[in-house]
Amino acid sequence: MNRFLDIKPEVREAIEAGKPVVALESTIISHGMPYPQNVETALNVEQIIRDNGAVPATIAIIGGRLKAGLTPEEIEYFGKKGPEITKASRRDLAMLCARGEDGACTVTTTMMIAHMAGIKVFATGGIGGVHRGAETTMDISADLEELAQTPVMVVCAGCKSILDIGLTLEYLETHGVPVIGMGTEDMPAFYTSKSGFKVDYKVDTPAELAHFFQTHLELGMKGGILVGNPIPDEYSMDPDIINPAIDKAIAECNSLGIKGKATTPFLLAKVKELTGGDSLDSNIRLVYNNARVAALTAAELSR
């Protein structure tokens, strides 16, 4: 086992017993929303996973230790410290461990640590992807590379709609990452259920999804799979409201010269401001829905 890895006893016991476990990221706690709403949401997500038959494992870096499973006190610590915590991608992992520092895990680092711990299913909000204008900026999320090399199932509501969804799907296809729609043939667009771009395959139940992923693993396929799970209709935003807000946020981001890892937090905060907070409410609801589907799928997988 990796000497930098600490697995919460409850999570370790579940893994060793072959019980279902679902990984969760910590960036949504530190960088996704204000305190105390971030802590409340994180604890609610963990409870939803328990209610649907699995054990939650929120993943983070604390004092240079890779944590697979946080205590409520550690979640509170992350929520209060917020954006002061480094947003940690693959390139940051060794330095944070070497320096004994904290890190909020993105999709990339959550996948890495989940795989180290033996966790196969991960629920998040939306993945990173190819940013708009990437043909000149080369701004492409490390999440896509991680999906191409780490065998973890990622359940999300699509890539964030601030991104170029079509180019993101092309990039995943090039790297051989299957994109599966949960009950849909249309790739979800985070705040809305449809993007106009097709997924590779559609499944209708967690059991079917688990069977697909188990076959993927047994074949020794490199990399993970991406599951697009649409936001429930009652929480989906009107495209005529959310899309202009996204376009305006991107224009302001570009005018301010914001780049790199600061881009996504800025855009999400700006979209929240422009929609009067409605986008954050939708964000929370889609995370809850993804946690439920991930837990049900992990339970099927463990059988």
Please confirm, yes or no, whether 19 is among the known catalytic residues.
Answer: no
Please confirm, yes or no, whether 198 is among the known catalytic residues.
Answer: no
Spell out the alpha helix ranges (H) of the chain. Answer: 9-16, 27-30, 37-51, 72-81, 93-99, 107-117, 134-137, 142-149, 165-174, 206-218, 239-256, 263-274, 278-302
- Of the candidates 87, 160, 261, 272, the residue annotated as catalytic is 160
Is residue 7 within 8 Å of residue 291, measured between CB atoms? no
- Of the candidates 25, 46, 76, 300, the residue annotated as catalytic is 25
- Please give, one letter per residue, the 3-state secondary structure of 57-98: EEEEEECCEEEECCCHHHHHHHHHHHHHCEEECHHHHHHHHH
Give the C-alpha separation, 29 to 38, whole Å: 5
Q: List residues with catalytic annotation.
A: 25, 160
